[in-house]
Amino acid sequence: AEHFPEETNFGVLPKHYELNLRVEPERSRVVVDCKIDLVTSGERKPSFFIRLSPHYKVTALKSASGEAIPFTQAGGVVCAPTPVGSTTWTISYEGLPDLPRFAGTVTKKEAMLTDDYFWPSIGRYPATTTMHADIPANWEVISNGTRTAQTTEGDRKKATFVNNLAISYLSFSAGEFSITREAPVAGQIIHAVMANNMSEEERKLQMELQKPVIDFYGKTFGPWPYKGWVTLSSESYGGAALEGYSYATYAPNWLPDSDAHEPSHTYFGGVISNTYLRSFWNESFASFCEGFYEREVEIGNREERRLAFVSNPFPSPTWNNGIIVESGVMTGDLSADLGYGKGAVVLQMLEHEMGTEAFVASVRRWLSEHPKGTPGEWEDYFAVLGPEYETFIDQWFRRPGWARFRIGNVRYEDGHLKGDVTFTGTPYRIVSDLLVETPGGSRNLVRVTLNPTGKEATSEWSVALPEEPVRGAFDPYERIMMMRSATGPAQLSRELGRLQAVVHPDAQAWANSADLGRTTVTPDFPANPANRVLVGHPDQWPQLLPLLEQAGMTVNGNELTYDGTTIDLTKGGAAAIVAAADGQPIVLLLGQTRRPMKTGKARIALCNEYGFFLRGLTEPRMEGELAFRL
């Protein structure tokens, strides 16, 4: 027997799917008639494969003239004779999807076909789509693309969705959903939320949280390709979340929350599709965008955001087992580790080396120049980057593992700070920030290239400095992929949930402004506040005043001021880590936000009513294997 990988299409490619999909909830059944526009190229083989989820049984396959086409089906694989030239076939099938919280399922209240092969896939190749949905009249429906028609006749509702982006994965949901939507405004993206597990207030909040994300992508990567964006929360979906390009599906108990990952797939997976058979490049971009959005969105102080939301670059041992450019789904769990994990970290490093403006320009160019309707791969993006980044590409995308090195022999000579870099294993060329501290206490950030000579394990680096520093650290804000031997500077995101919270009874609403751990409500200020999160107002606990002063904060009634920025504590929050007399951490939490504050790696943070970061302070890592003293 011969094995044919799933990407094998035998020269047959789908160009457009037109699905007529009927949901029969009383029978837990889905009935589909699908027209496929097919094209053939290359050497013609006698037959080819069509794939469906195995719970679908094909009942008929017909040519453009209506003649029956012979076929055989084994599980989810259908074998049919290869067509000649370009043609349109119709494939009819039906099934009883019953994989709730995993893939397709149909109940009396909902049909969820996301993560389900409910369309006849050929090599996971992308195609444009038209979806004609036929559902109960009291249901709502969503699928990929723009809704172009909807009618109700008797006890049935029919709706049509047209998607002009060629995609490899389709989604579909229908059910007893409640909808909250905006009134259309000319020139603006329309937002809507569909859910069977959220209140009206929660749905409205979800729209407000998600608007900045969609606006950011439209400004950053090119015009948003759809008229709107829909957030769907489904009781039947169990896969956390999945992109639908014009919408996304979320599992219960996630929303309301802002999400930068799934909407980024509108570009990375939508504008340029991915089959997942060779790599998870689109997941690398989407995971990268989680931090990229937080760093670059125009909310609050962008320079402070850029330090607070550097994503953790710490490697996983599994990254030694494969390379990013060859990590398709058939490699198993490693594909996700490299796609969602290492690939995202490498893109963050690439952005830092190129500079954000140049990086964004390269992505925009790829999105605009890539041939429409053809899947993308890493090599297509590399072609846009050009030969000057070939070393970076070879080191990080085409090589397993990560850099292992140490800094030594640091000295100041002839107006230059010099030292050695010693690699364990394969050397890497690394562009790194270097933060140096002068005798007067000022700090300066410079950039150094650690460039190994040939295959030698140790080489010298040098950077011109006007004054001899007293200490310094490479990669102070943790962008380089490498193992770290110790925990870095204190971070609110780590301490808020780790330390026990002490909450004043009159400030209990403020406790919802963060994801706190163990909590005690008491009017008494703790005798020893070290290793505690203190939630209260200085009018309630005057002992907070010197701690707030240590954080650089002042409070006057409902107003809190930090470094010239004032927020209203009734619709905003602030948090800070300060030191007790013995140096142990004390965390201060004040104010009320509608969602837990997003503080990233910051030690001090001010947030708006949505919990979005406005101002703050992120400490550099000045200790560890990349730090030195003179």
pLDDT (tens digit, 9 = 90+) per residue, 103-131? 899 999 999 999 999 999 999 999 999 99
Question: Where do runs of H (alpha helix) occur along 370-487?
Answer: 378-385, 390-396
| Distance of alpha carbon 238 from alpha carbon 115, whole angstroms | 10
Q: What is the mean pLDDT of the chain?
A: 97
Q: What is the pLDDT of residue 345?
A: 99
Query: Does residue 417 carry a pLDDT above 90?
Result: yes
Instruction: Please give the average per-residue pLDDT across 124-150, as a whole number.
Output: 98
Q: In the prediction, which pLDDT does 213 show?
A: 98
Rounded Cα distance between 180 and 200, Å, is 7
Give the residue among 314, 353, 624 at the shortest CA–CA distance from 472. 624
| Closest C-alpha among 4, 630, 612, 83 to residue 299 | 612
Has residue 493 got a pLDDT over 80?
yes
Q: What are the backbone angles phi and psi of residue 342, rounded to the nearest 5°?
A: -60, -45
**What's the confidence (pLDDT) of residue 238?**
87
Beta strands in 424-524 (DSSP E): 430-437, 443-450, 458-464, 471-474, 500-503, 519-521
Q: Report residue 558: phi and psi, to 5°.
A: -95, 10
**Model confidence at 3, in pLDDT bands (50, 70, 90)?**
confident
Distance of CA 578 to the CA centre of its chain: 32
Q: What is the mean pLDDT of residues 279-303?
A: 99
Beta carbons of 443 and 437 less than 8 angstroms apart: yes
What pLDDT, in 10s, does the model give residues 212-229? 999 999 999 999 999 999
Residue 450 has pLDDT above 90, yes or no: yes
Query: What average pLDDT does the segment 514-539 reach?
Result: 98
Main-chain phi, psi angles of 330, to 5 degrees: -70, -10
C-beta separation of 256 from 204 below 8 A: no
pLDDT computed for residue 452 by the predictor: 86
**What pLDDT was estimated at residue 298?**
98
| pLDDT of the residue at 148 | 97
Distance set, CA 462 to CA 401, 432, 569 (Å): 27, 12, 48
Q: Are 247 and 230 in contact (CB under 8 A)?
A: yes
What the chain holds in terms of domains, given with CATH numbers, is 12-264 (2.60.40.1730), 281-396 (no CATH), 405-483 (2.60.40), 492-617 (no CATH)
Residue-wise over 354-364: b if at least 16 C-beta within 10 A, else e?
Answer: beeeebbebbe
Residue 574 vs residues 450, 508, 529, 548, 587: alpha-carbon distances, Å: 39, 15, 18, 11, 11
Residue 523: band (very low, low, confident or very high) from pLDDT cuts 50, 70, 90: very high
Report yes or no: 278 and 299 within 8 Å, Cβ to Cβ.
Answer: no
What percentage of the chain reaches a pLDDT higher than 70?
Answer: 100
Summarised one tens digit per residue, pLDDT across range 26-63 is 999 999 999 999 999 877 789 999 999 999 999 999 99
pLDDT band at 239 (very low <50, low <70, confident <90, very high): confident
What confidence category does residue 449 fall into, taking pLDDT thresholds of 50, 70 and 90?
very high
Residue 80, beta-bridge partner list: 48
Alpha helices in 255-375 (DSSP H): 261-264, 281-296, 302-308, 333-336, 343-354, 356-369
pLDDT surpasses 80 at 15: yes
Question: Using CB atoms within 10 A of its CB, is residue 455 exposed (0-12), middle (13-18) or buried (19+)?
Answer: exposed
pTM exceeding the 0.95 threshold for the entire prediction: yes
Q: How confident is the model over 187-204, as pLDDT tens digits?
A: 889 999 999 999 999 999
User: C-alpha distances in angstroms, 122 versus 76, 404, 506, 531, 576?
Assistant: 12, 43, 61, 58, 54
Half-sphere exposure of 457 (CA within 13 A, CB side): 8
Residues 499-525: what's their mean pLDDT?
98
In order of 7, 8, 277, 302, 590, the CA distances from 3 in angstroms are: 12, 10, 15, 52, 62
CB contact set of 484 (below 8 Å; sequence gap of 6+): 314, 478, 621, 624, 625
Cα torsion 95, 100, 106, 107: sign:
positive
Q: What is the pLDDT confidence band of residue 184, given thresholds at 50, 70 and 90?
A: confident
pLDDT band at 475 (very low <50, low <70, confident <90, very high): very high
DSSP one-letter code for 493: H
pLDDT band at 485 (very low <50, low <70, confident <90, very high): confident
pLDDT at 455 over 80: no
What is the average pLDDT across 573-595? Answer: 98
186 conformational bin, left if phi > 0, alpha if psi -120 to 50, beta if neither: beta
Residue 615's contacts (CB-CB under 8 Å, 6 or more residues apart) are 300, 301, 304, 562, 563, 565, 604, 605, 606
Distance, CA of 130 to CA of 172 (rounded, Å)? 12
Please say if the pLDDT value at position 487 is more than 90: no
